[in-house]
Amino acid sequence: MPLSHRTSGSTARDDYLEQILHLIEEKGYARPIDISKKLEISQASVTNMLLKLDKEGLVKHEKYRGTTLTKEGLSIAKAIIDRHETLTRFLELFDIDKDTIYRDVEGMEHHVSRATLEAIRALADHLQAHPDTLAAIKSIQSTSLD
Ligand code: MN
């Protein structure tokens, strides 16, 4: 299965892996307290989940050194981030406000099928390359929003 198609099959797991990779990229490490802030989940719950993800072979959880991703965890995290970026890129074409886009994407990224994601990716690519088509669609969009 291509990387960009993968999820863990669980919304919570996907969110953890996604945020752990963001933290590692930002700070070089992912500590439970930072994961807890990003996901707005208590530190105790975060620690429990990290132990579970460690057992499943998706992260390496070391109490004092932070959490790293295994190869498997990393490929799922990258796929979720790719989904997030593709869906965001598509919705941003339509001037939807950023908070709405973020909320919608956080839901959609877990549930959209592979086939639909690839259709949205193709559509986003095409509309970015063809501003006239985008403008034509947006003229209908504004009418229907009035
Ligand atoms: Mn996301």
The pLDDT tens digits of the residues spanning 85-138 come to 999 999 999 989 999 999 999 999 988 988 999 999 999 999 999 999 999 999
Using the mean position of ligand 1's atoms as its centre, give its distance from the Cα of residue 55 in Å: 23
In the structure encoding, which two tokens stand for residue 127, read together?
């509309």
Q: Measured between alpha carbons, how far is residue 127 from residues 89, 96, 97, 136 in Å? A: 11, 16, 19, 10
Q: 59: Cβ–Cβ under 8 A, 6 or more apart, which residues? A: 16, 17, 20, 50, 53, 67, 68, 69, 70, 73
Using the mean position of ligand 1's atoms as its centre, give its distance from the Cα of residue 132 in Å: 30
Using the mean position of ligand 1's atoms as its centre, give its distance from the Cα of residue 103 in Å: 9
- Tell me what percent of the residues of the chain surpass a pLDDT of 90: 77
Rounded Cα–Cα distance for residues 16 and 87 (Å): 19
Residue 3 pLDDT grade (very low, low, confident, very high; cuts 50, 70, 90): very low
pLDDT confidence of residue 108? 93
The pLDDT tens digits of the residues spanning 124-143 come to 999 999 999 999 999 988 75
**Alpha carbon 132 to its chain's center:** 29
Using the mean position of ligand 1's atoms as its centre, give its distance from the Cα of residue 143 in Å: 30
Using the mean position of ligand 1's atoms as its centre, give its distance from the Cα of residue 125 in Å: 20
pLDDT confidence of residue 111? 87
Using the mean position of ligand 1's atoms as its centre, give its distance from the Cα of residue 79 in Å: 10
Residue 145 pLDDT grade (very low, low, confident, very high; cuts 50, 70, 90): low
Reference 83, options 60, 62, 111; nearest CA is 111
Reference 50, options 4, 79, 19; nearest CA is 19
Using the mean position of ligand 1's atoms as its centre, give its distance from the Cα of residue 37 in Å: 15
Residue 29 pLDDT exceeds 90:
no
pLDDT confidence of residue 37? 95
Using the mean position of ligand 1's atoms as its centre, give its distance from the Cα of residue 75 in Å: 15
Domain boundaries, the chain: 3-75, 78-145
CATH annotation of 78-145: 1.10.60.10
pLDDT confidence of residue 62? 84
Could you confirm whether domain 3-75 is CATH 1.10.10.10? yes
